[in-house]
Amino acid sequence: MTTGAGPAAVIDLGDDWASADTPQPTRPAGRRGPTVLATAACGALLAFTMTSAAPSPEPRLTELARWSAPQALILSTAGGDTVLLHAPSEVTAYDAADGRRRWRMPGAIDWIHDVGDLVVLGFSRPGSTSSEPQFALADAVAVDRVTGQVRWRAVTYLEQVAGLLVSFSGHPERPVVEVHDAATFALRWRVVPERSFAVDRWGSALWELAADGVLVEHDLATGTVRRSARVRLPAGTRVAVLASRDAVGIVGHRFDANGLEERSSALWYGRADLAAVAAANRWSWETDCGAGTSCAYPYDEGPPYLIDSATGAPIRPLEGTMHVGSPAGMLLFDNDGEPGSRISARLEPAGGRLRTDVAGWRVLSTTGQVARVLGHDDGETFATHLAELTTDGLRLLGREPHGLVQCVSVPRAVACTTQAGEVVIWRIGEEQP
């Protein structure tokens, strides 16, 4: 969840928003399948919150597996068919189609990359004793997503970009950067040390600034130079390169009177011709926020914006609200978005009209910053109604007779941790009871 904002003038409340009814979910009959028993370690994870009318006919949940996991830390997914359970000392993979355990790897996980048929796991390593800032290295292990067979191992910090793996090591300001094939970890090419650079996720490129002020665009997969041009540099004792959707920026840094480094200025150059362009609406990071929109974040202290994913055009600032995206529009939270708070409303994707049809549900699952699975507490018993949030609104899935903590979903399946210390996997179907 992120902090975003916009002046009240941007939000059209309409004439009837305050009187809109929020129907409570009906209590569907449960249906269970075979149970799979396993012991794992696990803890509790608080989740964010949301309410809405139940569509008809109601989809059904068929229980595939349920087991005790009192130390589970978090759930995640890989591919479209695998559920991963993270515990303090291991990660375990389950088949989302039948709930059966596929494989298990010992160790505490720092990060995971899902690359085609492989899952790349970054296992924690002891911290460096060096006084110099360093990248957090991990024991990277690539395993077959279905069988768990180990394909390769490395000791590095990795990021996934356009189906490739980029490794970083050494000092964060003067890193050793290498581009690797994801399937074999074979080295494709490396960046010359001591030069400023930025990995370009929009253009599958790497921008490099040489010492003589020449800006060079490399093809990320091969290292081949696509083009280069000498550009004007900003003032400062050090410069850094930034990549955005349609421009490349060079930021200057200098030391103030107290010896602290601060940003001095930034110059931007259009991606198409490397001609100087204005600095407005240049974001160094974008993430999917659902319904054809992205949440865009500037390199400086400016406010984030909701933008059109296709064109990059700003829709509204996201300053002053706690929010998360969804297929049905931006979801807004009361109580400053603290864990356990409930959704107060959503902004429709077209026009930004404020709606209260999701008020009161809890967000149990997000993909990036897009809410997928919602929960609503049963008023009579300690139970949770489950629903999917879609472009058409909420699809009620069923009722779990426990409080739910966190969920993940893949096509036609959902898995959740419960406050009773269990993990449950359900198949999502349309059959009637």
Q: Residue 96's pLDDT is what?
A: 96
Query: Rounded to two decimals, what is the model's pTM?
Result: 0.79
pLDDT of residue 180: 97
Q: Contact at 8 Å (CB) between 364 and 331?
A: no
What is the pLDDT, as a whole number, of residue 38?
32
Tell me the C-alpha distance between 421 and 408, whole Å: 16
For residue 388 the two structure tokens come to: 């999917």
pLDDT at 33: 35
Q: pLDDT grade, residue 335 (50/70/90)?
A: low
pLDDT tens-place string over residues 104-151: 999 999 999 999 899 999 998 876 555 566 677 889 999 999 999 999
Q: Provide the pLDDT confidence category of residue 392 given band limits of 50, 70 and 90.
A: confident
- Average pLDDT rounded to a whole number, residues 249-278: 87
Closest CA to 323 of 331, 312, 335, 334: 331
* Candidate ranges 91-105, 182-196, 349-363, 383-397; pick with highest mean pLDDT: 91-105
pLDDT at 240 over 50: yes
Q: What's residue 58's pLDDT?
A: 54
- What number is the average pLDDT over the span 207-214? 87
Q: How much is the average pLDDT of 316-329?
A: 84
Residue 35 pLDDT grade (very low, low, confident, very high; cuts 50, 70, 90): very low
Angle at 168 between CA 92 and CA 285, to 5 degrees: 85
Once rounded to an integer, what is the mean pLDDT over residues 220-235? 93
pLDDT tens readout for residues 280-319: 888 889 999 999 999 999 887 788 899 999 999 999 888 7
Q: What is the model's pLDDT at position 170?
A: 78
What pLDDT score was predicted for residue 134?
66
Question: Is 220's pLDDT higher than 70?
Answer: yes
Beta carbons of 374 and 391 less than 8 angstroms apart: no
Tokens representing 35 are 């149970």
User: Looking at the predicted structure, is the pLDDT value of residue 279 above 60?
Assistant: yes
Residues 234 and 265: their CA atoms lie apart, in Å, by 6
Q: Is the sign of the CA dihedral 227, 230, 231, 236 positive or negative?
A: positive
Q: How many CB atoms lie within 10 A of CB 39?
A: 10
pLDDT above 60 (res 50)? no
Predicted local distance difference test score (pLDDT) of residue 39: 30
One-letter amino acid identity for 49? T
Is the pLDDT at 391 greater than 90, yes or no? no
Q: What is the pLDDT of residue 129?
A: 53
pLDDT band at 338 (very low <50, low <70, confident <90, very high): low
Contact yes or no for 188/204 (Cβ under 8 A): no
Q: Which two tokens stand for residue 263?
A: 């940003």
For all residues of the chain together, what is the average pLDDT? Answer: 81
Domains present along the chain, CATH in parentheses: 2-429 (2.130.10)
Q: Return d(Cα 132, Cα 298) in angstroms, integer.
A: 28
Would the CA dihedral through 393, 398, 401, 407 be positive or negative?
negative
CB neighbours of 236 closer than 8 A, spacing ≥ 6?
252, 253, 254, 264, 265
Strongest mean pLDDT among 208-212, 236-240, 386-390: 386-390
